[in-house]
């Protein structure tokens, strides 16, 4: 049941758990920043967003999960049908995100039709995840150089 409209979602979708209104994953709780670059980037983006200098959809970190965006982008929290983030408009269904941390590849595809929804929002999300991944790698390199 969609809590915003009261519609029974089972008629349209049979997946049951790939929607923003699905029950939250226990791992979606905010986590403390464990790496200095992540901590400073989170603080900077929080401040810039709070003062209106950064749009929430332009972040490379996640304010909700306190992680790099690429680490938690597959959470249902990051689906927004209204603006098209992680959404297949053709199927009216949540799109899935795959992040390959070794190759740096980020892809979005619909779990129903298998196509890659090519909305501007999804293309921007892929780019933000790539930037997030690059920063996380840089942070790990800096951390290992100091240790």
Whether 52 is in a domain gets the answer yes
Q: Which residues contact 59 (CB under 8 A, 6 or more apart)?
A: 45, 49, 69, 128
Whether 7 maps to a domain, the answer reads: no
Any domain includes 24? no
- Count structural domains, the chain: 1
In the predicted model, residues of the chain with pLDDT beneath 50 are 1-4, 7-24, 29, 32
Q: Is residue 101 part of a domain?
A: yes
pTM, two decimals, is: 0.76
38 is a domain residue = yes
Closest by CA position to 61, among listed 146, 145, 128: 128
For residue 108, being part of any structural domain is answered with yes
Assigned domain for 19 exists:
no
Look at residue 9 and tell me if it is in a domain.
Answer: no
Domain that holds residue 110: 33-146
Which H helix or E strand runs over 106?
A: strand 105-110
């Amino acid at each position: 049941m969609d809590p915003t409209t009261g519609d029974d979602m089972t008629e349209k979708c049979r997946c049951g758990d790939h929607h923003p209104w699905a029950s939250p994953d226990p791992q979606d709780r905010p986590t403390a920043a464990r790496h200095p670059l992540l901590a400073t980037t989170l603080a900077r983006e929080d401040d810039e967003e709070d003062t209106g200098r950064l749009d929430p959809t332009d972040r490379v970190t996640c304010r909700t999960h306190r992680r790099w965006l690429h680490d938690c982008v597959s959470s249902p929290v990051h689906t927004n049908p209204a603006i098209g983030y992680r959404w297949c408009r053709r199927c009216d269904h949540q799109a899935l995100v795959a992040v390959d941390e070794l190759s740096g590849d980020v892809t979005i595809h619909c779990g129903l039709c298998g196509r890659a929804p090519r909305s501007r929002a999804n293309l921007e999300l892929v780019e933000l995840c790539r930037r997030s991944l690059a920063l996380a790698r840089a942070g790990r390199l800096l951390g290992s150089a100091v240790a």
